[in-house]
């Protein structure tokens, strides 16, 4: 690593890292090739790698190992060649279809519409029928069970080269699920969470049929909010029925015209939508790149608003805890230092990190050992680690009180369904150990171990791996993927938790 966010500390000191002779990538990370890693770290655990370690002025208490491995040239060339060949064949087959030499199975313009703007001739259509179609059988496979660690698929066959499928009536059992974000295994139809949710459904029903501000405020909504605040170590919290809407509806309540949003370039669509709806000015910084963020902050302070040069009403930094597509972990200690230096507000979306990261599963703040007060707006969702639905905003009491009256999703959206709330309460209490077991925290630790194992094995097998070594995202399905080596926990207390209770044996150590 040389000059990049990765090694330039906030106070201007440059940390001297093992550079490995590699060029830093566009976001400041070393783009290492698999072969480099393999030769140097063949039998080492990811924690032992030193070429990504970031000391950064002592802000980090633990190694920050993150890489965005570059695709080897040969792989890239062969991939593009493959696309090229498929495209040439595609045009040739389209030609045959036009001249009715080959049967055309897809929708096409009718003769009487031939003078209209073509509907079915854009590149997406071409790609679907000539490239995607060939491998379509691997996608959109019908699932016929709970998408837990393992799931059942309906078998289907195609007799016309994937144009259509027929069901054989056979069910493929116990397929390892690498597609869902059921990080801790709470999204199951057996075990304590689902039993508790079923009980609550009997008592309260499924729908509340009103908003929180009218007749939809149940005791269990308030219990959940107190629990979330306790879980995160903050004064107060508010919950919402949908994670996406938590971002897109609350950001406009926090900032507006005359405010500046500094948004990471890889932020989730819900953050982007919220930022756009707020009518604030949006400036985008390079992914997890502190130099890029600091430059924007400095410019914002020096120049103020365009034309008038008035100072910005508020500056809000928007980031994710674990970035949902890349699996990178936000450089929170550096961002906190920057936001304090430039007096900006910080909004962290913990959709993928809450429950899944940190020694106590309390997310990215817990992971870095920071003070929860350092993050002004903590946001997260219940759809991942808690196996439920909805989202939360947490922070100071005055912030939450303000949102209760000003957020559109608080005022106009129906409140959360009781079984959904109960699923979150039960799983969160389990992670906190308030159920009297250590099952939850064991699952958090197991996830970290599995993610690290899964990532290491994939690297050894020659796969290109993105993101942070400690991130369960990208390798989040390690919990399930290593199930071939799994044994049942055996403990009667843990067994009661049901389908999610798989823990790997020590076979891989």
Ligand X SMILES: Cc1ncc(COP(=O)(O)O)c(C=O)c1O
What residues line the site for ligand X (CB under 6 A)?
242-244, 247, 268, 270, 320, 324, 349, 351-352, 381, 383, 391
**Residue among 242 and 478 whose Cβ is closer to ligand X:** 242
Kindly state the smallest distance separating residue 370's Cβ from ligand X, in Å: 19
Kindly state the smallest distance separating residue 325's Cβ from ligand X, in Å: 8
Kindly state the smallest distance separating residue 349's Cβ from ligand X, in Å: 5
In this structure, what is the dihedral angle of CA atoms 150, 152, 158, 161, given to the nearest 10 degrees?
-20
Which residue has the CB atom at the shortest distance from ligand X? 243
**Residue among 1 and 322 whose Cβ is closer to ligand X:** 322
Kindly state the smallest distance separating residue 94's Cβ from ligand X, in Å: 37
**Residue among 57 and 185 whose Cβ is closer to ligand X:** 185
**Residue among 25 and 391 whose Cβ is closer to ligand X:** 391
DSSP 329: B
**Residue among 10 and 421 whose Cβ is closer to ligand X:** 421
Angle subtended at Cα 358 by Cα 19 and Cα 484, rounded to the nearest 5 degrees? 90
Please give the Cα distance from 458 to 53 (Å, whole number): 21
Task: Check if the beta carbon of residue 70 is closer than 8 Å to that of residue 79.
Answer: no
Kindly state the smallest distance separating residue 459's Cβ from ligand X, in Å: 24
Task: Check if the beta carbon of residue 483 is closer than 8 Å to that of residue 450.
Answer: no
Radius of gyration of the chain (CA): 25
Kindly state the smallest distance separating residue 433's Cβ from ligand X, in Å: 25
Tell me the three state secondary structure of residue 281.
strand
Q: Which residues contact 87 (CB under 8 A, 6 or more apart)?
A: 130, 131
Kindly state the smallest distance separating residue 379's Cβ from ligand X, in Å: 8
Q: Which residues contact 36 (CB under 8 A, 6 or more apart)?
A: 20, 22
**Residue among 66 and 349 whose Cβ is closer to ligand X:** 349
**Residue among 1 and 410 whose Cβ is closer to ligand X:** 410
Kindly state the smallest distance separating residue 227's Cβ from ligand X, in Å: 18
**Residue among 184 and 242 whose Cβ is closer to ligand X:** 242
- In which element (H, E) is residue 90 found? helix 73-98
Q: Measured over all CA atoms, what is the biggest interatomic distance in the chain, rounded to whole angstroms? A: 72
> Is 78 exposed, middle or buried (CB count within 10 Å of its CB: 0-12, 13-18, 19+)?
exposed
Q: Which residues are bridge partners to 237 per DSSP?
A: 394
481 C-beta neighbours (distance < 10 Å), count: 21
Q: Which residues are bridge partners to 268 per DSSP?
A: none
């Amino acid at each position: 690593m040389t000059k990049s966010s990765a090694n330039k500390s906030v106070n201007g000191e440059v940390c001297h890292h093992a550079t490995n002779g590699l060029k830093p990538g566009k976001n400041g990370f070393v783009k290492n090739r698999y072969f480099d890693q393999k030769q140097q770290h063949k039998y080492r655990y990811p924690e032992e790698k030193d070429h990504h370690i970031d000391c950064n002025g002592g802000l980090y208490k633990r190694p920050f190992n993150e890489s965005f491995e570059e695709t080897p040239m040969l792989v890239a060339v062969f991939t593009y060649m493959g696309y090229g060949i498929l495209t040439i064949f595609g045009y040739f087959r389209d030609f045959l279809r036009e001249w009715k030499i080959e049967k055309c199975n897809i929708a096409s313009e009718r003769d009487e519409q031939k003078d209209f703007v073509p509907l079915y001739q854009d590149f997406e259509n071409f790609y679907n029928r000539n490239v995607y179609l060939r491998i379509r059988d691997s996608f959109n496979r019908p699932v016929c069970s709970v998408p837990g660690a393992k799931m059942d698929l309906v078998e289907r066959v195609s007799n016309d080269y994937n144009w259509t499928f027929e069901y054989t009536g056979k069910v493929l059992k116990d397929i390892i699920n690498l597609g869902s974000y059921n990080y801790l295994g709470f999204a199951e139809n057996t075990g304590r969470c689902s039993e508790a949710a079923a009980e609550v459904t009997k008592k309260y029903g499924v729908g509340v049929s009103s908003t929180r501000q009218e007749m939809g405020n149940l005791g269990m909504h308030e219990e959940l909010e107190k629990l979330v605040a306790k879980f995160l170590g903050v004064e107060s919290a508010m919950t919402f029925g949908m994670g996406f809407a938590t971002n897109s509806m609350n950001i406009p309540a926090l900032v507006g015209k005359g405010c500046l949003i500094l948004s990471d370039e890889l932020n989730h669509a819900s953050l982007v939508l919220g930022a756009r709806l707020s009518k604030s000015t949006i400036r985008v910084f390079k992914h997890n790149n502190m130099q890029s963020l600091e430059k924007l902050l400095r410019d914002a302070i020096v120049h103020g608003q365009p034309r008038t040069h008035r100072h910005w009403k508020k500056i809000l930094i928007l980031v994710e805890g674990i970035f949902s597509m890349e699996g990178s972990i936000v450089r929170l200690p550096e961002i906190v230092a920057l936001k304090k230096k430039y007096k900006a507000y910080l909004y962290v979306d913990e959709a993928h990190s809450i429950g899944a990261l940190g020694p106590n599963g309390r997310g990215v703040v817990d992971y870095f050992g920071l003070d929860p007060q350092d993050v002004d707006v903590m946001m997260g969702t219940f759809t991942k680690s808690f196996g439920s639905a909805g989202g939360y905003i947490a922070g100071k009491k005055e912030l939450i009180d303000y949102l209760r009256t000003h957020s559109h999703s608080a005022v106009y959206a129906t409140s959360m369904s009781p079984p959904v709330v109960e699923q979150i309460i039960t799983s969160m209490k389990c992670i906190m150990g308030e159920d009297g077991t250590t099952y939850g925290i064991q699952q958090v630790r197991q996830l970290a171990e599995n993610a690290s194992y899964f990532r290491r094995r994939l690297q050894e097998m020659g796969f290109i791996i993105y993101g942070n070594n400690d991130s369960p995202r990208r390798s989040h399905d390690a919990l399930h993927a290593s199930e071939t080596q799994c044994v049942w926990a055996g403990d009667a207390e843990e067994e009661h938790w049901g389908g999610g209770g798989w823990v790997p044996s020590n076979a891989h150590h």
